[in-house]
Chains A and B, each alone.
Chain A
Amino acid sequence: MAAKGFVEISVEGCKGCGLCVHHCPVKCLSLKMDDTNSFGLHYAYLSNEETCIGCANCAVICPDAAITVYRQSKAV
Chain B
Amino acid sequence: MKDGYELVYKRPATLLDARMHYCPGCFHSTMHKIIMEVVEEMGIEEDTIGVSPVGCSVFAYNYMDIDFQQAAHGRACAVATGIKRSLPDKFVFTYQGDGDLAAIGTAETIHSCNRGENFTIFFINNAIYGMTGGQMAPTTLEGQKTSTSPYGRDIKNVGHPLRMAEMVSQLPGVAYCERLVLNTPANVRKAKKSIKKAFEIQKQGLGMTFLEVVSNCPSGWKCSPVESLDFVGEDMLKYYPLGVKKDVTANSN
Q: Which A residues have a C-beta under 8 Å from some C-beta of B?
A: 2, 5-6, 12-13, 15-19, 22-23, 41, 54, 56-57, 59-73, 76
Most B C-beta atoms less than 10 A away, residue of A16, A64, A67: A64
Contact of B12 among A64, A65, A73 (CB under 8 A): A65
Segment at the A interface, from B26-34, B70-78, B79-87, B142-150: B26-34
Say how far B130's CB is from chain A's closest CB, in angstroms: 14
Say how far B68's CB is from chain A's closest CB, in angstroms: 19
B185 sits at the interface (CB 8 A): yes
Across-interface contacts of B28 in A (CB, < 8 A): 63
A70 with B6, Cβ < 8 A, contacts A63-B26, A65-B15 known = yes
Query: Known contacts A17-B25, A18-B225; can you find 14 more A-B pairs with CB under 8 A?
Result: A6-B2, A13-B19, A17-B24, A17-B226, A18-B25, A19-B25, A60-B185, A60-B188, A63-B30, A63-B33, A65-B15, A70-B2, A70-B8, A71-B8
Across-interface contacts of B1 in A (CB, < 8 A): 70
Could you tell me if A54 and B229 are in contact, using CB atoms closer than 8 angstroms?
no
Chain B 178-206 per-residue mask, 1 if CB under 8 angstroms from chain A, else 0: 00001011001100000000000000000
Contact of B5 among A41, A61, A72 (CB under 8 A): A72
B156 sits at the interface (CB 8 A): no
A63 with B25, Cβ < 8 A, contacts A6-B2, A22-B226, A70-B2 known = yes
Total number of A-B contacts with CB less than 8 angstroms? 94
B103 sits at the interface (CB 8 A): no
Say how far B6's CB is from chain A's closest CB, in angstroms: 5
B4 sits at the interface (CB 8 A): yes
Q: Give chain B's interface residue range (CB within 8 Å of chain A).
A: 20 to 34
Across-interface contacts of B7 in A (CB, < 8 A): 68-70
Across-interface contacts of B15 in A (CB, < 8 A): 65
Could you tell me if A72 and B4 are in contact, using CB atoms closer than 8 angstroms?
yes
Contact of B185 among A61, A66, A71 (CB under 8 A): A61
Contact of A64 among B4, B5, B10, B20 (CB under 8 A): B20
Say how far A60's CB is from chain B's closest CB, in angstroms: 4
A19 with B6, Cβ < 8 A, contacts A61-B188, A63-B29 known = no
Contact of B29 among A2, A64, A67, A71 (CB under 8 A): A64
Across-interface contacts of A16 in B (CB, < 8 A): 24
Q: What is the CA–CA distance of A60 and B33 in the complex, to the nearest angstrom?
A: 9
Contact of A71 among B6, B182, B225 (CB under 8 A): B6
Could you tell me if B20 and A71 are in contact, using CB atoms closer than 8 angstroms?
no
B170 sits at the interface (CB 8 A): no
Contact of A18 among B19, B33, B226 (CB under 8 A): B226
